[in-house]
Amino acid sequence: MNLPLPAHTAAAPVLSNGNPAGRRRILKAGVALAAGALGVGCGKKETSGPPVNPGAGPGPGAGPGMEAANAGAGVQVESGKLWNLSELAPPPDWEKLEAWQETITADDFRYLLEKVLTDGTSFWSTVEQRPDRALIRMSTAVEASPRFELRFAKESKPNAAERYWRKMSEMPAPASAERPLEGVRVALDPGHIGGDWAKMEARWYQMESASPVMEGELTLETARMLRPLLEAMGAVVTLVRETHDPLTSQQPDKLLAEARESLHVSLGAAVLPTDRQIRKEAERLFYRTSEIRTRGHRVNEVLKPDVVVCLHYNAEAWGQDAGKPLFSKANHVHVLAHDCISPAEFQNDDQRWDGLMRLVQRIPDEEIRLCDAVARHLAAATGLPPYTYPGRNARQVNDNSYLWVRNLLANRVYHCPVVFTEPYVMNNQEIFDRLQAGNYEGIREIAGKQRFSIFREYAQGVADGLAEAYKAGRPT
């Protein structure tokens, strides 16, 4: 089945939020065109986790570019907390923004902050925009927190030396049209973990005596299929995870204190959690938080790619018993870029910092171009309809019904463009049949249709999307 794809060309303006001519208009209209001008808003978000106080690390002290909000008032520490942080987040290093002084214009900053990074209502209590600078609250845990002062540029400057990733437009022209990814550093991040870990993560089900379906193993197999396709086009490919094992050394046994603290916040001080609750919470912090933060660290500090592709398989609710899963008639595909930070999330000091680090580097612009192309090619390769988010935690962008922005840990902490892919419903009957068929060469009939293996189909869609984006974005 070939679905009608949204009319769009790679050369069309990005970040238009559904209105190709919208950017200029929004820039001029400024605040009068706040939330609502873009259609779908994203004020509410699923979970950002309770704030935790690490009780260690440097406080929000003044440094270069950091201006005390109330000079002379000093820093008041409320209930011993210096930072308001997401789960297992290190305190933000605000000095890293120093390298971005006088690189972004006031108009660009306002547009990206209001229309892209957030829903337009999230930042007023933490970012004060003046004509020549923004004053950014460094901590929301401290009443008189120092402000980081980010000075604006008269004209936008790329400041490429201060980021590890390269824009498509900054790369040299490829030697031949057949190798559009020549020299592009691509990190493939197979989502989740495999083996016994998949059960703990609840990304595992088994239908009677058939092979168990484990998302973390499917994503690694997909990465292994994708790698040679990208390398054939000249890419330099690394895998963020090469085995079924986790990268983090913080396994659940090492996270019991953090689990107790997290439950203290979520259940309330009056409730004493059971050992089982503490264990479950420690497991969740291990696979959902520590593992992703560890991958973010590896990407930002070791691999330093031009783009990360986070590979996932979607699922619909399959019930409580993974041994007797419910099948869903639904089957769909979508691709996520970062952004759409909710007001509550923007109050977290680390999320505000991550978002602003991505903003000053102009990651959203590059990321949405890449995600847009991959979304259209994955839609064509799979023939699946788009997934539609029912809530306000995601926002559709770029006139592309397959492309959404959403604030996930796994795309926020990577300080480079991230293409986050979510095709196929694993507990759809046809997808189950295709997964049971495994990986194979050529075409086979499955569920009444001639098909490539699901891994090849997925990999080809991503590879074609990246090829199109880089062909359009690199110099010729």
Residues that bind Zn ion (CB under 5 A): 191, 312
Q: Pick the closer one to Zn ion by CB: 191 or 343.
A: 191
Rounded to a whole number of angstroms, the minimum distance from the CB of residue 214 to Zn ion is: 11
Comparing CB distances to Zn ion, the nearer of 37 and 410 is 410
Q: Residue 314 Cβ, how far from Zn ion at the closest point, in Å?
A: 7
Nearer to Zn ion, 215 or 464 (CB): 215
Coil vs helix vs strand at 248: coil
Give the single-character DSSP code of 95: G
CB of 129 or CB of 428, closer to Zn ion: 428
What is the crossing angle of helices 363-382 and 349-360, to 10°? 90
Q: Residue 83: which region, alpha, beta or left (left: phi > 0; alpha: psi -120 to 50)?
A: beta
Asked whether 184 and 278 are in contact (CB, 8 A), the reply is: no
> Which of 127, 137, 136, 139 lies closest to 54 in space, CA to CA?
139
Closest residue by beta carbon to Zn ion: 312
φ/ψ of residue 405, rounded to 5: -110, 145
Beta bridge partners of 309: 188, 419
Structure tokens at 83: 């930072």
**Alpha carbon distance 138, 92 (integer Å):** 8
CB of 222 to Zn ion, least distance (A): 12
CB nearer Zn ion, residue 218 or residue 233: 218
- Rounded to the nearest whole angstrom, what is the least distance from the CB of residue 315 to Zn ion in the complex? 8
Q: For residue 423, give the 3-state DSSP assignment.
A: strand
Residues 152 and 133: beta-carbon distance below 8 Å:
yes
Q: Which residue type, as a one-letter code, is found at position 455?
A: F
Cβ proximity to Zn ion, 185 vs 192, nearer residue: 192
The minimum distance between CB 408 and Zn ion, in angstroms, equals: 10
Give the Cα separation of 393 and 395 in Å (integer).
7
Provide, rounded to whole angstroms, the least separation between the CB of residue 191 and Zn ion. Answer: 4
Residue 215 Cβ, how far from Zn ion at the closest point, in Å? Answer: 5
Q: Which is nearer to Zn ion, 292 or 370 (CB)?
A: 292
